């Protein structure tokens, strides 16, 4: 079997690399979450504010809302930090818990209070979602390559 790379094949290669990156990111999020759950400290926090960030992408403006979380550590230290994940809408069906004033469960690393997660459905769903998306992108790029090479099912 002779495999030749053409300009059309670069699409599949780039898509495959993106898929691998999604799988790696999903595994990294999963590892971080498992580590925090096993050795972190669980406290109650509050969505202090929703920070709005505007960016321009290909002429269109995109708005991202990131929750600012406030909690008190077991050492009575106040922590107010922007959460790692933001959403494109302040209030969505996938993200109903991120509203200003809502209480959330926070799990933080004892030696690094800025390393925390919100223990809710979204935190649990991010890793599998990234892994599934990455796998689908890789499968799609392989199928596209096979179809472009002339093989049809």
Strand partners, 60: 57
What is the average pLDDT across 21-33? Answer: 92
* Domains of the chain, residue spans: 7-148
Give residue 153's pLDDT.
61
Sign of the CA dihedral running 78, 82, 86, 89: positive
pLDDT band at 97 (very low <50, low <70, confident <90, very high): low
Residue 93 has pLDDT above 60, yes or no: no
Residue 85 has pLDDT above 60, yes or no: yes
Contact yes or no for 71/45 (Cβ under 8 A): yes
What is the average pLDDT across 55-65? Answer: 75
d(CA 124, CA 121): 5
Of 149, 126, 142, 125, the closest CA to residue 19 belongs to: 142
User: First vs last Cα of the chain: how many Å apart?
Assistant: 19
Give residue 113's pLDDT.
92
d(CA 120, CA 95): 10
Task: Give percent of the chain above pLDDT 70.
Answer: 86
d(CA 12, CA 139): 10
Stretch among 17-21, 60-64, 136-140, 148-152 having the lowest mean pLDDT: 148-152
- What does the block give as tokens for 7? 């300009």
């Amino acid at each position: 079997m002779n495999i030749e790379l053409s300009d059309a094949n670069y699409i599949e290669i780039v898509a495959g690399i993106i898929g691998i990156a999604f799988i790696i990111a999903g595994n990294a999020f999963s590892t971080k979450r498992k580590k925090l759950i096993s050795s972190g400290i669980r406290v109650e926090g509050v969505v202090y504010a929703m920070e709005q960030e505007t960016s321009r992408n290909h002429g269109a403006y995109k708005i991202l809302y990131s929750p600012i979380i406030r909690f008190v550590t077991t050492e009575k230290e106040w922590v107010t930090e922007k959460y790692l994940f933001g959403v494109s809408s302040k209030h969505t069906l996938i993200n109903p818990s991120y509203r200003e004033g809502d209480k959330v469960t926070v799990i933080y690393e004892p030696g690094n209070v800025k390393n925390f997660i919100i223990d809710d459905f979204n935190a649990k769903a991010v890793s599998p979602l990234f892994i599934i998306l990455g796998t689908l992108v890789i499968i799609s790029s392989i199928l596209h390559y096979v179809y472009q090479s002339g093989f049809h099912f």
